[in-house]
Amino acid sequence: MSLDLKITNGLVIDGTGKQGFRADVGIADGKIVKIGDVDESATTEIDASGRVVAPGFIDIHTHLDAQLLWDPMASVSSWHGITSVVVGNCGFGFAPTRPEDREMAMKTLENVEGMDVACLKAGLGEDWGFVTWPEYFAKVKASNPAVNVDAFVPHSPLRLFVMGDAASKRAATPEEIQAMVDLLSESLDAGAVGFSTSMHAGHLGANGLPIPSRLAEMDEFIALAKVTAERDGIFMAGIGRGFSVEQLREIYDATGVRITFASMTAGMGGRPDGHRRVLAKFGQAFNDGLPIQAQVSCLPITSVFNLAEPMPLTHTAPAGMKANTLEEEFNEVFLEDDREARLAIYARPDFAERFAKATDSEKWHQMWDGMRVAYMPDQPELAQKSLKEYAEEHGLHPAEAMLKLAIESKLAARFSLELINTDEDEVALLLTYPGTQVALSDAGAHVSQLCDQCFSTRLLGHWVREKEVVTLERAVQMLTGDPAKFFGFDDRGTLAVGKQADVVVFDPETVAVGTREFRHDLPGNSERIVNRQQKKEKSQKKKT
């Protein structure tokens, strides 16, 4: 037998959780055909000595719905070993969408997922080439993506398609619910992996209206979950105020649907113990035998911004941290669209004084503690430097230090703010709690503010090698076998003869998130943050 690819001398960690073993892997026609001693010749051979050979990683929480149509390589995800992605999360997506609603769809994604409308218009073109969900999915497949793509049918576009403008204003009638059920049935039959929705109170769509899914009532959720369960699909929910584990249990009791929800992060809700409150309810549901997963992150939830567009600093982050927001202090800034005019306001002593005074509370100093300089032109040595340390070195309040760097760089300086999921003991609890699923990359969304596609390499580098919170075998299983089993991806997720040849090879001694870079390489010259893998020296780790 002639092979297309042979990977030799690697430590095979097969995604089942069992201990790694030395073996070769033979691949032909896109399938794994042999694991063990492989003597057959191959067109290509990779020597994996000192490396791990594992199943390709699965990212169940992405928003790559549009990006895949212009970037079939699914960067940055594929750079970090991701070979399968699930799109259409949180009830957001681009299908079904009528041509007259495309502008609204893009503005909704801009508001809730930080997507640049100019980028979407340039990338999708004037004629998207699809209206219905099956047409969308067919177009994704036709783009020949380098990763496996599975997709939810998103609730908000589904509602808008059936109800028009009323979708963001009222509950659906029985007839409208049945129309949604019919469309969902058609989409599930066309290959959708399930249905997704969101009740997050902070999710506002076009024109400041609530996203359509937030107007749904329980009878609508149950009807859509029922048809999802009948086709063995997944019900994915973004939980929010008034829609938590209790409501998910009600939906399960009525339908028997499998459920995954986002998200559970350390310090959620602006409370140090916010996640523990949800964890207790989730743990009870899981122990009661519900087929339910809670999506967790292994990264600090971080926002990167500059003072040219200070919204994350003035509204989003303070609100999430239960600190006073800065509408009054920054009102005159938001009234100016011109960059130079904003710069002039920031340079005024009275503005600096008001900014510092408004952020001198205990909650704000907790935020300043998590702030770093992400980028400063011509001063690379400042990258990742604590803003508070920089302020102390210059005898300034952190707000004054931020303004100093912003003014000196003509607003090009960028800052990163760790919002939640920063207490590593609590993150470790979430990662090791039964029924949780490491995820939440948000790939394709918020691309100018964060790049969490590196969650897989963060897990392997930080939580395995550096913190020893999970074993290497367990970490690989968390990234592969666990999501594949829950989602029913029988053809991948573990290394076994007959499975898809989704394989990743990595060095366990050097794998890491890589270096953050700012690039203008999206359609329309839009900006994004990427984490690029770089070769590192092997660590000289010492046991303590």
Q: pLDDT digit string (tens) for 196-214?
A: 999 886 667 776 688 999 9
258 neighbors 234 (Cβ within 8 angstroms):
yes
Neighbours of 439 (CB within 10 A): 27
Q: Give the pLDDT of residue 78.
A: 97
Q: Do 77 and 527 contact (CB within 8 A), yes or no? A: no
* Percent of the chain whose pLDDT exceeds 90: 81
Banded model confidence at residue 536, pLDDT cuts 50, 70, 90: low
CATH 3.20.20.140 in the chain, residue ranges: 58-300+422-487
Chain-centre distance of CA 272, in angstroms? 22
Q: What is the pLDDT of residue 110?
A: 86
- Give the confidence band of 304 by pLDDT, cuts at 50, 70, 90: confident
Compute the mean pLDDT over every residue in the chain, rounded to the nearest whole number: 93
Peptide bond into 303 cis (omega under 30): no
- Express as a percent the part of the chain with pLDDT over 70: 97
Cβ pair 48, 113 in contact under 8 A: no
Confidence of residue 537 (pLDDT cuts 50, 70, 90): low
**pLDDT surpasses 50 at 542:** no
Lowest pLDDT segment from 278-282, 356-360, 530-534:
530-534
Which pair of structure tokens corresponds to residue 99? Answer: 């041509």
What is 58-300+422-487's CATH superfamily?
Answer: Metal-dependent hydrolases (3.20.20.140)
Beta strands 234-238 and 515-519: pairing type?
A: unpaired
pLDDT digits (tens, 9 = 90+) for 428-466: 999 999 999 999 999 999 898 889 999 999 999 999 999
pLDDT attached to residue 544? 30
Under the banding of pLDDT at 50, 70 and 90, the label for residue 220 is very high
Of the listed ranges 10-19, 355-364, 416-425, the least confidently predicted one is: 416-425
In this model, does residue 543 exceed pLDDT 50? no
Angle among Cα 83, 146, 493 to the nearest 5 degrees reads 25
Q: HSE on the CB side for 28, CA within 13 Å?
A: 12
Residue 144 — φ and ψ, nearest 5°?
55, 60
Q: CA-CA distances (angstroms) from residue 506 to 81, 148, 481, 482, 501?
A: 9, 20, 17, 20, 16
Residue 126 has pLDDT above 90, yes or no: yes
pLDDT class of 540 with cuts at 50, 70, 90: very low
Q: Categorize the per-residue pLDDT at 119 as very low, low, confident or very high, splitting at 50, 70 and 90.
A: very high
- Report which residue type is found at 57: F
pLDDT of residue 280: 95
Is cis: bond before 76, omega within 30 of 0? yes
Q: What is the DSSP string of 524-541?
A: GG--EEEEE----PPP--
| Residues ≥6 apart with Cβ < 8 Å to 525 | none
Name the amino acid, one letter, at 187: S
Weakest mean pLDDT among 40-54, 369-383, 467-481: 369-383
Name the one residue in this structure whose structure tokens are 């940055």.
76
Q: Which secondary-structure segment (H or E) carries 340? A: helix 339-346
On the question of pLDDT at 47 being above 70, the answer is yes
How far apart are the C-alpha atoms of 369 and 232, rounded to whole Å?
46
Residue 158: what are its φ and ψ, rounded to 5°? -60, -45
List the beta strands (DSSP E) in 312-360: none
Give Dmax over CA atoms of the chain in angstroms.
Answer: 78
Tell me if 516 sits within 8 A of 115, measured CB to CB.
no
- Helix ranges (H only) for 145-291 are 155-163, 174-189, 218-230, 245-255, 274-287
Q: Kindly list the distances between the CA atom of residue 211 and the CA atoms of 74, 129, 165, 177, 355, in Å, as whole numbers in the listed order.
A: 27, 24, 11, 17, 32
* Strand partners of residue 196: 154, 236
pLDDT value at 357 more than 50: yes
Task: Look up residue 39 and give its two tokens.
Answer: 């003597």
The length of the chain is 544
Token code pair at residue 421: 């999921």
